[in-house]
Amino acid sequence: MKRGKFITFEGPEGGGKTTQAKRLIQRLRDAGFEVVYTREPGGTELGEAIRGILQHDAIKEALTDESEVFLFLASRAQLVRNVILPALAEGKIVISDRFADSTTAYQGYGRGFPVETMIAMNAFAIGEAIPDVTLLLDVEISAGFERLAVRQKELFEKADRIEREQREFHERVRNGYLELAKRFPDRYRRIDAGREPHLVEADVWKTVNDVLRG
């Protein structure tokens, strides 16, 4: 059976990754494709437990930056072996709301760990699960956080542990993503996510169609 396609959504906070991933899934299913959706951290029982620690302060002990890296990698390794690779082997399309590049951007460029080390650690964690395309939903940090504030007010949510970081951290993360897009031009597609959602959706759909025909 022909291997399925692996599509990842990346980008700074407030870029609409989850919204666009769900819209893409619906369009793919309407077109007759089998689609598996997952998210990071999460996607497995272990991953969801780790998500609670990483994003929602599920433990009282403060995480060290090093522990944060290894928790992300553990969640990812479990997700790859238990969900992503089996689905790809069955010819399905896998869509992940964040993946390995998030660790490079947030913990590498954001926290200041050596970027090459983060890339190497990610390579060990993901093995053969290389995305066919990474959709970088790029948005200016100020605009992204304005969207976050609206969403949190509407849904009565509080900012998670990562969202509470200083703006300078998030600027480094965004710049890191732009550097990754330059480093991996064959895989990355930057999409201006500061526009209306329907315009972003159209670009996402066009890009994915190109990948599916390739």
The string of pLDDT tens digits covering residues 15-72 is: 999 999 999 999 999 999 999 999 999 999 999 999 999 998 899 899 999 999 999 9
* Whether residue 156 has pLDDT greater than 90: no
CA distance 61 to 118: 24
Give residue 189's pLDDT.
98
Among the residue ranges 89-93, 123-127, 171-175, 209-213, the one predicted with the least confidence is 209-213
Are 105 and 173 spatial neighbours (Cβ–Cβ below 8 Å)?
yes
What's the angle, vertex CA 122, arms to CA 98 and CA 183, rounded to 5?
75
Domain extent listing, the chain: 6-213
Given this model, what pLDDT does residue 214 score?
75
Mean pLDDT of the chain: 96
- Whether the bond between 197 and the residue before it is cis, its omega within 30 degrees of 0, is no
pLDDT higher than 90, residue 194: yes
Percent of the chain with pLDDT over 90: 89
Check: CATH 3.30.70.20 for 6-213?
A: no
Q: What is the pLDDT of residue 158?
A: 85
Q: Are 44 and 85 in contact (CB under 8 A)?
A: no
Predicted TM-score (pTM) of the model is 0.95
